[in-house]
Amino acid sequence: MSTQSQFAPPLRPGASIPVSTAGILPTDAATAIREHLAPIVGPWAAHSRVRLTRLAEPGLRRPLVAQVDVQLTAGRRVRAQVAAATMSDAVGFLASRTIEQLQVFPTALAECLRERFTTAPPPSPPELLPPSVRRIVRRKLCRPAAMTVADAIVILEAMDYRFHLFREKYSRQDSMVVRTSPGRYRIIQPRPNPIGLEITSPPITLAAAERRSLADATAKLDLTGAPVDIFTDKSTGRLHALYARYDGHYGLLGCDATIRPGFRRAAGDRLAGPGPS
């Protein structure tokens, strides 16, 4: 049992939490998840759900991925996601991470948990498969919501994102916020504009997204193994993120008005060589 499991609170009755599973898992996997999460989220959540998956890709050191999505009152939402090598680790990691995430809205936690902080490091980024077998398996087109930098940071933290795409309210630029260290953030924009960085915000740095094609971004991650590349598309001048997924492949996030027909490939297609940009 991982040392992180010690942070799961004593069990007590709570609301039943739906758990969906995929892949080959122990028969008691869903029960173990429910028993550890119910004391944390049950009494305060309008609805909670968990997805537990054993990834089929061979060679992954952490093939178990668990995600909990908690709907709180007043439209608030919290998400936690972990990857683990064993089922006991997955249960312990997810319970610990859920407590950390609910601290974004402390009143959603039991009083005995509000001052309970874990000492474990942040979750590791997804591990990538060898470059020769990686694919872009998910392409998400979205219209970034307009919000302030402070609001974007709240969403980044509450949803356990590695980065968050939004449209900065004052400069009206497509922007990405990423966490550089606990309590510190970077805003990445096609044309950096400090107008929306309120002086009361947490420590923030402003950076420009380098201009490159999707093929170039893919080649960069293939070479470096970095977890994400945030870039400005050469042709459109708009922001995109190519990122590592827990299944070892890539995902692409961009604005629906920026991804051209050449990007709309079937899941599993790979950009090789120069490719379309």
Q: Which is nearest to 258 in space by CA: 138, 176, 142?
A: 142
User: What are the residues whose beta carbons fall under 8 Å from the beta carbon of 53, sequence distance 6 or more?
Assistant: 21, 22, 23, 64, 65, 66
- Starting at the edge strand that comes first in sequence, how are the strands of the sheet with 228-233 ordered? 136-142, 250-255, 239-244, 228-233, 211-212
pTM exceeding the 0.95 threshold for the entire prediction: no
Question: Strands 146-147 and 184-189: what pairing?
Answer: unpaired
Q: Which is nearest to 269 in space by CA: 79, 134, 118?
A: 134
Full pLDDT tens readout for the chain, 277 residues: 333 333 333 333 445 788 999 999 999 999 999 888 877 775 666 678 899 999 999 889 999 999 999 888 777 888 999 999 999 999 999 988 888 888 777 767 666 666 665 555 567 789 899 999 999 999 998 889 999 999 999 999 999 999 999 999 999 999 999 998 888 899 999 999 998 887 666 789 999 999 999 999 999 999 999 999 999 988 888 899 999 999 999 999 998 754 444 443 333 333 332 223 2
| 87-102 vs 29-41: helix crossing angle, rounded to 10 | 20
Q: Which two tokens stand for residue 220?
A: 């960069």
Burial category of 227 from C-beta neighbours within 10 Å (exposed 0-12, middle 13-18, buried 19 and up) = middle
Residue 88 CA to residue 172 CA, distance in Å, equals: 45
User: Where do the domains of the chain lie?
Assistant: 3-113, 131-263
3-113 is classed CATH 2.40.420.20: no
